[in-house]
Amino acid sequence: MPANKKYFSSTWQRLLKITAGFIGGFILTQSFFMIFIQFFKNAASLITLQFAGFIVWVALMIIAFLTKNGFKIWGVYLLLSAFFVLLIYVIP
């Protein structure tokens, strides 16, 4: 039984979701964990953050594919990344 056509997203929306999942999720993950690096400045926490960062990145990719609009998820990811980058520069 073929899938219902009304549940398919357009090609551009699919491309936006894929790029938001890979690129936007990676940028958001890196900016989020840079805040933790500001707080914990030892080498052991950096290794732990690499493993946790991969898990968060995968979760953000899944969230990007679950949304209906690719523009909205890009906006959310970029706004959160900008907020985290702002916090990085504000925190001494």
What's the whole-number average pLDDT of the chain?
86
CA dist., res. 82 & res. 29, Å (int)? 12
pLDDT at 43: 66
Residue 71 reports pLDDT greater than 90: yes
Sequence-distant (≥ 6) Cβ neighbours of residue 2 within 8 angstroms: none
Look at residue 69 and give its three-state secondary structure.
coil
pLDDT tens digit sequence for 22-60? 999 999 999 988 888 887 777 677 777 778 889 999 999
- pTM listed for this prediction: 0.83
- Distance from C-alpha of 47 to C-alpha of 44, rounded to nearest angstrom: 5
What is the per-residue pLDDT for 34?
86
For the segment 58-77, the average pLDDT, to the nearest whole number, is 93
Rounded Cα distance between 60 and 84, Å, is 16
